[in-house]
Amino acid sequence: GAVVSQHPSRVICKSGTSVKIECRSLDFQATTMFWYRQFPKQSLMLMATSNEGSKATYEQGVEKDKFLINHASLTLSTLTVTSAHPEDSSFYICSAGLTVQGRVTGELFFGEGSRLTVL
Amino acid sequence: LAKTTQPISMDSYEGQEVNITCSHNNIATNDYITWYQQFPSQGPRFIIQGYKTKVTNEVASLFIPADRKSSTLSLPRVSLSDTAVYYCLVGDIRGGATNKLIFGTGTLLAVQP
């Protein structure tokens, strides 16, 4: 099946620094990718929809200036947590949909997740 | 987007069949039902998807009644490795931003020896 890869899988940073997380679709092109955040023992919360070549669409309550999303190519989307604080510590997961002959198959493929710890 | 309701947790034993039911009373005409499995510290993994009646693949079956207001994921003969959180999602899968899927609480399935 299609593969979505995230990097890094784990990152620890000091408060106030910025951290970039990459999401790549390895064997297919993804015009749309999604970024989720998951706190311990909670469900995934959709943060934003990343659109190739255009601005991301953020969910209500998610600060677009804090969580910068760039989708510069059909295989790469990045999430940058700017001026990270301890409350930003979480598990960040991206996903991408598979398009076959111009039609979305409806199956989302998720990355392995990136665990961010802000000290 | 249709809201889903699932049991928070379920217990089972190895070798048993497990059925997890999801309610989605306000499902729209174009919505599909998709189930995902998530292990700790991993991204969710697709299990099965359906629109109506019954769908079966190598790992699970999905039963959807005629009114589509609920669905049941059936896992035959579970093993310890099936211990995970199972999410039921409902949405229009036909393209672009409509692929946006909202996760509900999920069901934590605990399989015991």
> Searching chain B, which residue's CA lies closest to the CA of residue A32?
B96
Side-chain-facing half-sphere of A89: CA atoms under 13 Å: 11
Size of interface A-B (CB pairs under 8 A): 68
Question: Which amino acid, one-letter code, is at A113?
Answer: G
Do residue B103 and residue A45 have CB atoms under 8 angstroms apart? Answer: yes
Does B101 sit within 8 Å of A34, measured CB to CB?
A: yes
Q: What's the average model confidence in pLDDT over A17-45?
A: 92
Contact B22, B71 (CB under 8 A): yes
Confidence check: pLDDT of A100 > 80: no
**Cβ separation B96–A104 shorter than 8 A:** yes
Helices (H), A37-85: none
On average, the pLDDT of chain A sits at: 90
Outline where chain B has alpha helix (H): none
- Is residue B92 within 8 A of residue B34, CB to CB? The reply is no
- Tell me if B32 and A110 make a contact (CB, 8 A cut-off): no
DSSP label at A105?
A: E
Q: What is the mean pLDDT of chain B?
A: 91
pLDDT reported for residue A102? 57
Percent with pLDDT over 70 in chain A: 92
pLDDT band at A77, cuts 50/70/90?
very high
Do B30 and B52 meet the contact criterion of CB atoms below 8 Å apart?
no
What are the chain A neighbours of B44 within 8 Å (beta carbons)?
44, 93, 95, 110
Assess contact for B92 and B100: CB atoms under 8 A: no
Answer yes or no: are the C-beta atoms of A38 and A47 closer than 8 Å.
no
Identify the CA nearest to B95 among candidates A49, A98, A47.
Answer: A98
B11-41 pLDDT per residue, tens: 999 999 999 999 999 998 888 899 999 999 9
Residue A51 in contact with partner chain B when CB distance is under 8 A: yes
Report the C-alpha gap between A79 and A94 in whole angstroms.
9
Closest CA to B34 of B19, B22, B17: B22
